[in-house]
Amino acid sequence: MSKHGKRSKVWRIIGLVVGIIVLIWLIIFLFPVTENTDLHKFDRGRPLVIAHGGGNHLAPSNTLAAFTNAHALGVDVLEFDIHMTKDGYLVSIHDPTVDRTTNGTGKVNDMTLEEVQALDAGMNFKDLNGEYSYRGQGVYIPTVDEIFSTIDDPDMLYTIEIKDSNDPELYQEMSEKLWELIQEYSLEENVIIAAFDHSIIDMVLEASDGDALVSGGRDEITKFVVFHKLFLNSLYQQHVHALQIPTEDSNINLVDKKLIRGAHNRGMDVHYWTINDPETMEELIELGADGIMTDRPDLIIELLEK
């Protein structure tokens, strides 16, 4: 066979392979996406107002002062983060240490509940006027138990993030204890459990026998976005109830009506974080986002009332 003939044969094979790949892609792309109606949706007929840390710009983050203030404002969802104390209590605090938000120092995992709650959690908070208005007012780091019992509202929804800055050996115990508290207060349909590390979500699902409502971890979100951008939604199989995402990630725009629709087709809600400017809030409202997480829930409530 001549060199020309060999080259022609190679190009025919390459063309055949490319054709097969394109055909497979078209079959996948054109295959109808079946909606998953079994997964839970927090539906209020409008974007949920999710108070980040209870509204971090309005009151000390992750405290009862913030949660009661947000509840009084009329938010839909209280969002907070949890770590576990040395003596096994789940407490609401964003950082692995108490250094930034209190007048103490130390890692939460290495402190007892008594030691953690002896600190002033309003010490370093500045209000919108630049005043330390909560300093010395008895604000402390609450337990999850105290949050549930203090709010005591059957309509209140929660997003609780198990922080991946805890000691890794604690995640299984934290998952089990959180699910026990959720059951104790009959909040199984009111709480979405989140974590950046999706292996923690797997532990939550194991602890709850698959009954917990969960948000996808970073790997799960990345997988969904990649499938969406490649128009291969039909290949994505979800096991979570919500995706909590920023407006962009690594310069990829995630404020996308098609992405929201794609998530809905797979039975998932889309919650954006952390949005504090009214312009982006309005854009997300118009796009049909299911929830907007913010440090300024008062601003979103004002926009929705308009």
CB atoms within 10 A of CB 19: 10
User: In whole angstroms, what is the distance from residue 158 CA to residue 58 CA?
Assistant: 18
* Per-residue pLDDT, 248: 78
User: Does the pLDDT at position 299 exceed 60?
Assistant: yes
SS3 for 165?
coil
Q: What predicted TM-score, i.e. pTM, was given to this entire model? A: 0.87
Say if residue 35's pLDDT is above 60.
no
CATH of 44-98+143-305, one of 3.30.2350.10, 3.40.800.20, 3.20.20.190, 3.30.470.10: 3.20.20.190
Report pLDDT digits (tens) over 138-190.
999 999 999 999 999 999 999 999 999 999 999 999 999 999 999 999 999 99
Residue 283 predicted with pLDDT over 80: yes
Domain ranges of the chain: 44-98+143-305
According to the model, what pLDDT value does residue 12 have? Answer: 63
Summarize pLDDT for 191-219 with one digit per residue, the tens.
999 999 999 999 999 999 999 999 998 88
pLDDT bucket at 78, cuts 50 / 70 / 90: very high
Give the percent of the chain with pLDDT over 70: 85
Most confident of 17-21, 231-235, 243-247: 243-247
What pLDDT, in 10s, does the model give residues 234-276? 667 778 999 999 987 767 788 889 889 888 888 899 999 999 9
List CB contacts of 194: < 8 A, sequence separation 6 or more. Answer: 159, 160, 161, 162, 201, 214, 215, 217, 242, 244
| pLDDT recorded at residue 36 | 55
Query: What is the CB neighbour count within 10 angstroms for residue 61?
Result: 25
pLDDT at 20: 55
- The arithmetic mean of pLDDT across residues 85-111, rounded, is 98
Q: What is the pLDDT of residues 45-64, one digit of tens each?
A: 899 999 999 999 999 999 99
Band of the pLDDT at 17, cuts 50, 70, 90? low
**Nearest alpha-carbon partner for 290 in 77, 80, 148, 68:** 77
Residue 26 pLDDT more than 80? no
Output the DSSP codes for 105-126: -SBGGGS-HHHHHTS-TTTT--
Which amino acid makes up residue 115?
E
The answer to whether the beta carbons of residues 81 and 53 sit under 8 Å apart is yes
Do 205 and 162 touch, CB atoms closer than 8 A? no
pLDDT of 1 higher than 60: no
What Rg value do the Cα atoms of the chain yield, rounded?
A: 23
pLDDT of 28 higher than 60:
no
The amino acid at residue 99 is D
Query: Would you name the residues annotated as active-site residues?
Result: 52, 94
In order of 15, 223, 227, the CA distances from 237 in angstroms are: 31, 10, 10
